[in-house]
Amino acid sequence: MRLFSVRGGVHLDYRKDRTRNLGIVPLPMPALLYLPLTQHVGAAAEPVVVAGQVVRKGEVLATAQGAVSAPVHAPTSGRIKEITGHVSPHPSGLSQSTIVLESDGADAWGALPAGIEDPFAATGQEIARRVAEAGVVGLGGAAFPAAVKLNLRAGHTVDTLLINGAECEPYLTCDDRVMREYAGEVVDGARIMAHALGAARIVIAVEKNKPEAIKAIANAARPFATMAVAEVPVRYPMGSAHHLVKVITGRETPAHGRTASVGVLVHNVGTARAIHHAVRFGRPLISRVVTVSGGALKSGHNIEVPLGTLVRELIDFCGGMVAHADQVISGGPMMGHPLPSLEAPVVKGTCGILALTADETNVQPTGPCIRCGSCVEACPSGLVPLQLATLIQHEDIDGAAKLGVEDCISCGSCSYICPSHIPLMHYFDYANGRLRVLDRKRKHQEKLKTLAEARRQRLERQAAARAAAKAKSARPAAPPTASAQAQTQTQAQAQSKPVGNSAAAASVTGAPVTGLPVTTATETGAGP
């Protein structure tokens, strides 16, 4: 297969040997599972269970809310202990709403929807609905609801489905193991997705450093003419969706755009397997393969982990820490994030747990920029990291935005290559965070402006109505003139239909707006 070239990238020491030849092992069911309501991109799921309720394995615990969301299912049978705040697997360490499930040890399945016997006779919508019900999200780390991507057929013409098995991050071998051990399931999941999308071609892209996975996938894909396996060069960040699309098809995804706009949809191999389970057997996403590795651990493993397992239990399963861990990271060492606590649970997007020693993280004191340009050569998005970082250091966030800081994919190639150890990517993460804050602030102020304007108009109308009422009461004997009638109408309108925020404006007329019982109905605006 002809491959295209991409710019930038770095060559890393992959350190995958520790776990790449170890088979996937199941984790003994933990006594307690902590299932956050937001394990995906989009709106938080809404719990449909209460504390004390007994649930079966695979039962829905929380339903999806809105267009971009995903439900949460019970990974085992047991009793809901509580729904409470628990530390989230997020660098902030903020607490979030979490369902705590107490396992009963039986691990008994509840009633599942029957699988679709012949998915290739089903419509795209039917398959997408199944995938949505099963709570499948992107298992590569981004955790974007998979069904939303399958529904993109409506707006885009997708000709190629790209299955991402590049796994370019060091340490991680979970996708490698899934491809080796469940190649048939991955291939079937990919074919189901391609059918749902109407994509004529399926390409499974694997980095050359996984020869066994390439062989397994090629064997499984051989009967299907529409499928091809692409061996992509070993270079970080090959697994970035935009870059993989460029390598395989030569098409460049526009800035702020999706790969679907160039006719390609990218899914991770783990997602393909989860979709196979969801569509063929009606099984929801309740577990995932996680690579647990790093120099601070006694041993590394690829573990099939029930969602909601605490990171601490995974570390205990691997024999605990034998050295001081400088950082415990969720995801890969390049794009992952440090975990605030070992009490954080494994969620749908957790692809790895790495306990790295200080020697491995190798955090060095920052030196001055020597303008060597290594970061410019390494940047896969074609940015100029050294210039961006200088602007951000001086808080010129707008200037950085003009130079395209929003196109940064946070791959960390620049920080890795920098001989002065300048935390370049961290500057860009900060700048992009600030840009989001400013954007929210701008939207908020626009809303406030309309509210303030609505209030001004309402006060004017009330003043006019009062003046009219005064004029009317001053000459009670006189018959109502045409103009006085018109004014009375205005007053009635002002009282019945106040503009602006309906809840706030309704309170002017003394109506109950917050569910409170209101006994007096004085018009507050009409007081002396």
Q: Which residue's CB is nearer to another protein, number 322 or number 484?
A: 322
CB 275 within 8 A of CB 293: no
Main-chain phi, psi angles of 303, to 5 degrees: -120, 135
109 Cα distance to chain centroid:
28
CB 43 within 8 A of CB 69: yes
**Tokens standing for 446?**
């626009």
CA–CA gap between residue 138 and residue 264 (Å, rounded): 16
Q: How many residues does the chain have?
A: 528
Minimum Å distance from CB 434 to another protein?
Answer: 7
CA–CA gap between residue 173 and residue 181 (Å, rounded): 12
Cα radius of gyration rounded to whole Å, the chain: 29
Minimum Å distance from CB 400 to another protein?
Answer: 12
For 318: left if phi > 0, alpha if psi spans -120 to 50, otherwise beta; the answer is alpha
CA–CA gap between residue 212 and residue 412 (Å, rounded): 28
Task: Report which secondary-structure segment, H or E, holds 227.
Answer: strand 227-232
Q: Which residue's CB is nearer to another protein, number 440 or number 475?
A: 440
Q: Which residue's CB is nearer to another protein, number 486 or number 518?
A: 518
Q: Which residue's CB is nearer to another protein, number 87 or number 262?
A: 87
CB 350 within 8 A of CB 331: yes
Q: Which residue's CB is nearer to another protein, number 90 or number 258?
A: 90
Task: Give DSSP secondary structure letters for 114-173.
Answer: PPPS-GGGS-HHHHHHHHHHTT-B-TTTT--BHHHHHGGGGTS---EEEEEE---SSS--
